[in-house]
Homo-oligomer: A and B are copies of this chain.
Amino acid sequence: MALSKKPVNGMKDILPAEMEIRDYVTSVIKDTYRSFGFTPIETPCMENIANLSSKQGGENEKLIFKVLKRGEKLNLETAKEEADVVDFGMRYDLTVPLSRFYSNNANNLPTPFKALQIGSVWRADRPQRGRYRQFTQCDIDILGEPSNLAEIELITATTTTIGRLGFKNFEIRINERRILKAMAAYSGFTEDQYDSVFITLDKMDKIGVDGVAEELEKDGYAKESIDKYLGLFKLLEDKKDVAEGVAFLADTLGEYLDPEVVNNMKEIAAAVNATKAAEFTLVFDPTLVRGMSYYTGTIFEIAMPELGAACGGGGRYDKMIGKFTGNDVPACGFSIGFERIILLLMENGFKIPESPKKVAYLVEKGYPADKLVEVMKQAKEARENGQQVLVVRMNKNKKFQKEQLNKEGYEEFVEFFNR
């Protein structure tokens, strides 16, 4: 059968130029997060299919690459539906595997447990430009820490990392699921309406306040509630400072908003603003929803000026681990948009700082073996002194060869001739 040169549809080969940037970004991420006490873990790329179909993953559960049963377990003749022929699936995120990992290994992990995961995930999305069906996610999570120390450390560690990668003037937008709910309740929406209202609210940055009003009306909500609700957002527009924003809401919403939520947000903002190690602004964004239904408290997102969309996000999800263990464990996480960061760095012609000097040794064809040994010794010494040394045969068209090597970053050449 003819072999196919192309990668699987929707997935990509990564060439050295991009891979070197990915490796550099990975090492900055690991070093920085490690300095905050996060420890690396890894889970298998496959999970039992039931774990991936537990409704934690929302829409992503429709995009699972499923793994065929093997050997005697597979019976195609009697199979009626997919569930009969698959046992595993490729993970679509790192959060479900983390929850399983924690339930499986809690006895061997410290409390709180600060986890760092960098790994591939798979989603059988329709392939499209710049969006791949295998991509890297990069998550930090703190499990077992109920206080806002978790949020403070997550936001500080992540912004420090993003800053070390050279990004400036970005925003961290923060909100709270309980603020979302309080604003909806105050405006007259009932609890069963929240999810639908929030889905519409989430479109604010795309369709604007008038668009949101229109959609809510179309959904049949009371004009009075809609006006009251959107009026709040209008009043909050110039209150992007977290302390100011939540103080205003505390005054306005009254008993609808738990004072503990207000205090919590103020404390997070004070600590994050006082210990900044990067140039960013912490912003209160009452329109921030974050799709996943598992969030229970704070939610946050990284917004880059260069980018329309978010470049990472996270929040508190205190109820997920209980799904595995029966006992809830406080949990909070922050995911960096790894692929988007790589894309931005590539587009901006990013150069890796402090990379070693690259020297190419060109050895003429027919160079005697005993003298080649001397060349290798010279290369050995240079490598031990921190140089990156490529030893290659000299081509007939030496000029072209040097031009090609120059494109690979080799700026210095040493030539070895037969005589």
Contacts and interface: CB of A to CB of B under 8 A. Distances in A.
Given A15-B109, A23-B40, A5 B100 contact: yes
Contact of A100 (B4, B34, B356): B4
A383 B164 CA distance: 13
A134 B44 contact: yes
Contact of A153 (B67, B149, B360, B391): B391
A404 interface: yes
Contacts of A275: 373, 376-377, 379-380
A3 B324 contact: yes
Contact of A104 (B13, B90, B103, B152): B13
A277 B363 contact: no
B15 A108 contact: yes
Contacts of A241: none
A86 to B, nearest CB: 6
B393 A7 contact: no
A163 to B, nearest CB: 12
A41 B16 contact: yes
Contacts of A270: 369-370, 373
A15 B117 CA distance: 11
Contacts of A122: 46
B1 A50 contact: yes
A285 interface: no
A112 interface: yes
A22 to B, nearest CB: 8
A216 interface: no
A343 B16 CA distance: 29
A206 interface: no
B110 A408 contact: yes
B19 A39 contact: yes
A37 B392 CA distance: 10
A325 B149 CA distance: 57
A20 interface: yes
Given A40-B16, A145-B393, A274 B8 contact: no
A54 B2 CA distance: 9
Given A45-B120, A275-B373, A392 B112 contact: yes
Contacts of A76: 76, 79-82, 85
Given A68-B85, A391-B153, A405-B110, A15 B41 contact: yes
Interface in A232-248: none
A3 B51 contact: yes
A44 B7 contact: yes
Nearest to A82: B68
Interface string A364-388: 0000011011001101100110111
Interface string A391-419: 11100000000001100100000000000
A173 B163 CA distance: 48
A101 B134 contact: no
A11 interface: yes
B277 A384 contact: yes
Nearest to A114: B390
Nearest to A392: B112
A36 interface: yes
Given A74-B82, A376-B271, A43 B391 contact: no
23 contacts: A3-B50, A3-B100, A4-B50, A6-B104, A7-B43, A11-B46, A13-B43, A19-B40, A20-B40, A35-B388, A68-B86, A70-B124, A76-B76, A145-B393, A147-B393, A149-B392, A156-B376, A266-B369, A270-B369, A270-B370, A271-B369, A271-B376, A274-B377
The 8 nearest A-B residue pairs measured at CB: A37-B390, A16-B39, A11-B44, A14-B42, A19-B40, A267-B369, A35-B383, A66-B68
